[in-house]
């Protein structure tokens, strides 16, 4: 396919024509505002309802699902740089309604087609004291809702904003799962959200009781993911505790900045530009009956983002990568190429120090003398492998155009940018422009450091991976690993950097295998701390799972799970299903009906925990093979910090 299928977003000529043709009704604004009456948008299935209430002094939104409260009346509005607030006392001047139906086809994702059916309401406002005209756009989907702001007009043109007045008042008894940077997750009531002191945070950082998005809220009768989407020219949002209310806080600093370029180099941005016609990011509530349902409907965040701007993206090839490590040499590189080819991988990646000495002044267009990069690219291509090169942020800023032209000439497949700053509007403008330029040069992009997804992989599909996670660079606990599927991993690709059979892992080896199916990342890094020598001369039959497991999917099913406890996810690619199950430090036995497989008998290749070892990472992987059908129940015996991976394929496949 050349891109994706979807109608245009709010603001375009085709969208306005659709609105007019859909019977959009203009309402008498002053009467509505004076009476404090509300406006409502309802999901196609009638279960999700988002209501805007326009009062004399405030603008609020309320959300219910199946008649139960998801969001109590919560503030909406924008804050100007001079402190005045758009929304308080605003005059409603018109309302339009529209519906969108059908689905769109992503170039890759968690399923082959993404549902886009929704109802949309656009409420137009004028702020009497400023003469500024703006709109609140609200959408209701079967699995959630979202709001955003659009600037329609202002005396003198663009305005300067200091922030938003958007808030979230969740029901009583809500329990949040929230984290900051790559820290551990807090389990807390909204009012208990604590300031996080992370070792990597410096003086140039937003300080306070903040949480990075996404945040997962377990409310009575439902699970809610608070996220953002379509962040193109705007600061990144965090949540700040204000009593029982959570407020949107727009970052004034980039995350973890000073540690990489020296104190005083990262001034705060106390205000930012908001142009006529510009839309803020969507403030998203993804809602499901259980936390497992959040995993299945993660595509809502991508769907809300702006459509593909790169045109024909058939050249984009998701896949699995292994990095070239330690002392770089041509001989060592050829060993990695041979290993990657033998294990059906798609990419090799050169990490830091392949150019210059890896410091900021280094020339990222010249490999160190030990490496002949054009020859390496040719050797990898002969094995149907691509080459990805690591580049630090500062060389990327200083020599971007030279880097892109050089790598394209070499035939490089993509770039992994490290220590990337995200937060301020200027940081995010740099990211979007960098990804766009890479896409125009036919280069994949993987961004590392303190970043968070917001659907940008739809707008620029070459943005295939990003970090922003406490992964195997830090060898987290099993409990952390089974919190991620219901929190950070729902919002978008998650570059966890899986490392197999490592002595520092706090999990079993089967737990590490299962990650490849549980976590969604179109560019999955495997064997993060390994070299080919580790696997030489030994059979390692369990690696067949990594050899076969893809990174993008035709169907995703979240079969079971509880946040922080355990998770079971099955994903289909073609006619094969890949199932991953992971538990925390508590062993458990799960009985799993196999009705999701559909008709017919299948061969199940099982990669399971063996007898529990003295340490979790000493628990062996036991391989077995059985024949199963949709009426069967699979017993998953998960040891402490354990897991299981299962490949289901046609029964006639030979071993």
**Confidence check: pLDDT of 594 > 60:** yes
**Confidence check: pLDDT of 36 > 60:** no
Any bridge partners for residue 283, and if so which?
Answer: 147, 228
Q: For residue 202, what pLDDT is reported?
A: 64
Q: For residue 256, what pLDDT is reported?
A: 74
Mean pLDDT of 41-45: 98
Rounded-to-integer distance, Cα 108 and Cα 551, Å: 9
pLDDT band at 3 (very low <50, low <70, confident <90, very high): low
Rounded-to-integer distance, Cα 145 and Cα 363, Å: 46
pLDDT band at 56 (very low <50, low <70, confident <90, very high): confident
Among 2-11, 264-273, 298-307, the minimum mean pLDDT is found in 2-11
**Confidence check: pLDDT of 23 > 60:** no
The percent of the chain in helix, strand and coil, each rounded to the nearest 5, is 20, 35, 45
Mean pLDDT of 225-252: 97
Mean pLDDT of 525-535: 96
Rounded-to-integer distance, Cα 639 and Cα 589, Å: 9
**Confidence check: pLDDT of 19 > 90:** no
Rounded-to-integer distance, Cα 498 and Cα 524, Å: 8
Among 29-38, 152-161, 258-267, 500-509, the minimum mean pLDDT is found in 29-38
The class (CATH top level) of 13-303 is: mainly beta
Phi-psi group of 518: left, alpha or beta (phi > 0 → left; psi -120 to 50 → alpha; rest → beta)? alpha
pLDDT band at 621 (very low <50, low <70, confident <90, very high): very high
Consecutive H or E run containing 590? strand 588-593
Q: Where are the domains of the chain?
A: 13-303, 319-549, 572-650
How does pLDDT run across 392-404, given as a tens digit for each residue? Answer: 998 999 999 999 9
Q: For residue 14, what pLDDT is reported?
A: 31
Average pLDDT, the chain: 91
Q: For residue 200, what pLDDT is reported?
A: 60
**Confidence check: pLDDT of 13 > 90:** no
Rounded-to-integer distance, Cα 310 and Cα 415, Å: 17
DSSP 329: -
Q: Which CATH architecture has domain 572-650?
A: Sandwich (2.60)
Rounded-to-integer distance, Cα 326 and Cα 235, Å: 37
Q: Both ends of the chain: CA-CA distance in Å?
A: 34
Q: For residue 34, what pLDDT is reported?
A: 33
* Strand ranges for 179-278 from DSSP E: 186-188, 210-212, 215-219, 222-229, 237-242, 245-250, 272-274
How does pLDDT run across 188-222, given as a tens digit for each residue? Answer: 999 999 876 565 666 678 888 999 999 999 999 99
pLDDT band at 22 (very low <50, low <70, confident <90, very high): very low
- Sign (positive or negative) of CA dihedral 258, 262, 266, 267: positive
Contact status, residue 501 vs residue 509, Cβ threshold 8 Å:
yes
- The hierarchical CATH code for the domain 319-549 is 3.20.20.70
Q: For residue 35, what pLDDT is reported?
A: 37
**Confidence check: pLDDT of 16 > 70:** no
Mean pLDDT of 412-420: 96
How does pLDDT run across 174-186, given as a tens digit for each residue? Answer: 999 999 988 899 9
Mean pLDDT of 451-458: 98
- CA-atom Rg of the chain in angstroms: 25
- Sign (positive or negative) of CA dihedral 329, 334, 339, 340: positive
Q: For residue 257, what pLDDT is reported?
A: 59
Q: Name the strands in the sheet holding 159-164, side by side, starting at the edge strand that comes first in the sequence.
A: 85-86, 78-80, 159-164, 272-274
Rounded-to-integer distance, Cα 321 and Cα 305, Å: 27
Structure tokens at 583: 């538990």
Winning range, highest mean pLDDT, from 194-203, 349-358, 574-583: 574-583
What are the φ/ψ torsions at residue 192 (nearest 5 degrees)?
-95, 5
**Confidence check: pLDDT of 8 > 60:** no
- 244 vs 144: which has the higher pLDDT: 144
Neighbours of 592 (CB within 10 A): 19
Cα 199 from chain centre:
24
- 644 vs 7: which has the higher pLDDT: 644
* Strand ranges for 434-479 from DSSP E: 444-447, 463-466
* Residue 320 CA: distances (Å) to CA of 340, 407, 472: 9, 20, 16
Q: For residue 33, what pLDDT is reported?
A: 32
User: What are the DSSP calls for 337-375, one per residue?
Assistant: HHHHHHTT--EEEE-TTSBTTSSTTS-TTSB-TT--HHH
3-state secondary structure of 457: helix
pLDDT band at 162 (very low <50, low <70, confident <90, very high): very high
Rounded-to-integer distance, Cα 337 and Cα 588, Å: 39
Rounded-to-integer distance, Cα 455 and Cα 493, Å: 9
Alpha helix (H) ranges present in 46-179? none
Same fold, 319-549 and 572-650: no
């Amino acid at each position: 396919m050349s891109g994706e299928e979807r109608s245009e977003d709010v603001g375009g000529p085709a969208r306005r024509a659709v609105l007019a043709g859909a019977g959009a009704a203009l309402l008498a604004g002053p009467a509505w505002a004076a009476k404090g009456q509300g406006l409502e948008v309802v999901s196609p299935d009638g279960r999700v309802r988002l209501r805007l209430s326009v009062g004399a002094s405030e603008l609020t939104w309320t959300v219910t699902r199946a008649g139960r409260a998801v969001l109590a009346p919560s503030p909406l509005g924008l804050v100007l740089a001079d402190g005045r607030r758009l929304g308080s006392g605003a005059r409603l001047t018109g309302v339009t309604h529209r519906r969108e139906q059908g689905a769109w086809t992503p170039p890759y994702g968690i399923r082959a087609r993404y549902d886009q059916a929704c109802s949309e309401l656009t409420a137009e406002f004028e702020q009497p004291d400023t003469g500024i005209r703006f709109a609140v756009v609200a959408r209701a989907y079967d699995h959630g809702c979202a709001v955003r702001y659009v600037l329609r007009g202002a005396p003198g043109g663009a305005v300067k904003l200091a922030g938003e007045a958007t808030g979230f008042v969740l029901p009583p008894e809500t329990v949040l799962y929230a984290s900051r940077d790559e820290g551990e997750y807090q389990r807390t009531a909204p009012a208990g959200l604590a300031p996080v002191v992370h070792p990597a945070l410096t003086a140039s950082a937003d300080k306070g009781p903040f949480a990075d998005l996404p945040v997962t809220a377990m409310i009575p009768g439902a699970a809610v993911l608070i996220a953002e989407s379509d962040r193109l020219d705007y600061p990144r949002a965090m949540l700040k505790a204000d009593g029982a209310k959570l407020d949107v806080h727009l970052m004034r600093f980039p995350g973890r900045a000073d540690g990489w370029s020296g104190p005083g180099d990262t001034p705060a941005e106390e205000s930012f530009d908001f142009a006529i016609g510009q839309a803020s990011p969507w403030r998203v509530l993804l809602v499901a009956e259980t936390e497992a349902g959040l995993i299945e409907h993660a595509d809502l965040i991508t769907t809300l983002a702006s459509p593909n701007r790169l045109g024909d993206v058939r050249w984009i090839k998701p896949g699995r990568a292994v990095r070239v490590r330690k002392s770089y040499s041509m001989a060592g590189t050829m060993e990695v190429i041979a290993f990657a080819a033998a294990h059906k991988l798609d990419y090799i990646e050169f990490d830091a120090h392949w150019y210059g000495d890896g410091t900021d002044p280094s020339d990222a267009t010249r490999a160190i003398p030990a490496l002949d990069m054009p020859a390496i690219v040719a050797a990898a291509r002969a094995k149907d492998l691509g080459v990805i090169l690591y580049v630090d942020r500062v060389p990327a800023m200083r020599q971007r155009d030279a880097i892109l032209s050089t790598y394209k000439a070499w035939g490089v497949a993509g770039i992994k940018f490290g220590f990337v700053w995200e937060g301020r509007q200027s940081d995010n403008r740099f990211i979007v422009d960098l990804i766009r330029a890479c896409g125009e040069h036919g280069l994949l992009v993987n961004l590392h450091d303190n970043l968070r997804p917001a659907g940008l992989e739809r707008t620029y599909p070459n943005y295939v991976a990003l970090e922003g996670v406490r992964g195997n660079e830090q060898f987290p606990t099993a409990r952390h690993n089974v919190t991620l599927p219901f929190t950070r991993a729902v919002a978008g690709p998650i570059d966890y950097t899986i490392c197999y059979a490592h002595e520092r892992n706090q999990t079993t080896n089967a737990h590490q295998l299962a990650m490849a199916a549980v976590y969604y990342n179109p560019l999955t890094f495997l064997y993060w701390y390994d070299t080919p020598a580790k696997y030489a001369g030994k059979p390692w039959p369990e690696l067949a799972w990594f050899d076969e497991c893809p990174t993008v999917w035709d169907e995703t099913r979240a079969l079971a799970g509880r946040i922080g406890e355990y998770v079971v996810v099955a994903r289909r690619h073609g006619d094969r299903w890949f199932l991953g199950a992971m538990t925390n430090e508590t062993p458990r036995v799960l009985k799993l009906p196999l009705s999701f497989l559909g008709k017919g008998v299948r061969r199940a290749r099982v990669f399971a925990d063996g007898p529990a070892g003295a340490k979790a990472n000493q628990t062996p992987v036991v391989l077995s093979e059985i024949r199963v059908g949709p009426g069967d129940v699979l017993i998953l015996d998960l040891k402490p910090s354990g897991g299981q991976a299962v490949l289901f394929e046609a029964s006639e496949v030979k071993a």
